[in-house]
Amino acid sequence: MKFEKYRIEAENICVDYNGKVALYDATLRLKAGQICGLVGMNGAGKTTFFNALTGFVNLSKGIIRINGESLKTAQQDQSVAYVPQNEGIDSDFPINVWDIVMMGRYGSMNILRSPRESDIQAVKNAIGRVDLLEHTFTPIGNLSGGQRKRTFLARAIAQRASILLLDEPFSGVDIRTEKLISELFLEFKKEGKTILISTHDMIHIREFCDLVLLINKTVVAYGDTSEVFTPENITSTFGGMSPDFLFGPES
């Protein structure tokens, strides 16, 4: 793996849904071990950005390279893991923690997806890392918001992806989960994983994002958090509203 090169390279990507532009001319480059915050209003294109990086929507323009390879190769290499928002999950689905985490291994299993000993170990290990061992066989519907979030984080760990995309990882979680996720992020960083998180929570961005990407249909500002995450930039990202109004004076 070429660590000196970029893990994620998105060059001038455009996405439109049936003629409606959702994202245009967006560029992002991230290296190994970098944590980047993705900030924007609802409808600013955060989810579209994630959809593009997971290959869930087609680009109308631009190119995405993951570890220097095409998106298709990255998918086959299990390079990208996506951790969905809690709202994006059907919590009535008849499935338990173990089965969800095992889905992280599907891409590298045989066609019947029958787990090998190594898969079982990876799943156990991942569930242990997010501290859910006592809930291993709990149906998803009986988990709290934080436990649910940790389940999907465990799936990403089991997948052994080098890039993690997290959609609102801190929304609707308890303090314990929040602390655990923060600790995991620092571990991931040490392991050389690249992390992109979308969040509404400005405090978390300052806490552990090296870089921040402000978007409003396109890139408003991008760079080191200390330089880019200014009240002026945030205001223009959120369509002219002042950050004080949006997040209270302490932001």
Residues making contact with other proteins (CB under 8 A): 18, 51, 54-56, 72, 75-78, 80-82, 84, 89-90, 93-96, 99-100, 103-104, 106-107, 111-113, 139, 141-142, 155, 159
Which of 112/175 has CB closer to other proteins? Answer: 112
CA angle 169, 174, 177 (to 5 degrees): 60
Helix (H) / strand (E) containing 190: helix 175-190
Nearest approach, Cβ of residue 93 and other proteins (Å) = 5
Pull the structure tokens for residue 250: 């302490």
Query: Cβ distance 96 to 138 under 8 Å?
Result: yes
Nearest approach, Cβ of residue 152 and other proteins (Å) = 9
- Name the strands in the sheet holding 35-39, side by side, starting at the edge strand that comes first in the sequence: 80-83, 163-167, 194-198, 35-39, 211-215, 219-224
Nearest approach, Cβ of residue 121 and other proteins (Å) = 18
For residue 142, give the DSSP letter: G
Which of 76/230 has CB closer to other proteins? Answer: 76
Which of 52/180 has CB closer to other proteins? Answer: 52
Nearest approach, Cβ of residue 120 and other proteins (Å) = 15
Which of 56/245 has CB closer to other proteins? Answer: 56
Which of 94/249 has CB closer to other proteins? Answer: 94
Q: Which residues, other chains included, contact 60 with Cβ-Cβ below 8 Å and sequence gap of 6+?
A: 14, 15, 16
Nearest approach, Cβ of residue 65 and other proteins (Å) = 16
Give the CA distances from residue 159 to residues 10, 39, 76, 217, in Å, rounded to whole numbers and listed in that order.
Answer: 22, 26, 12, 31
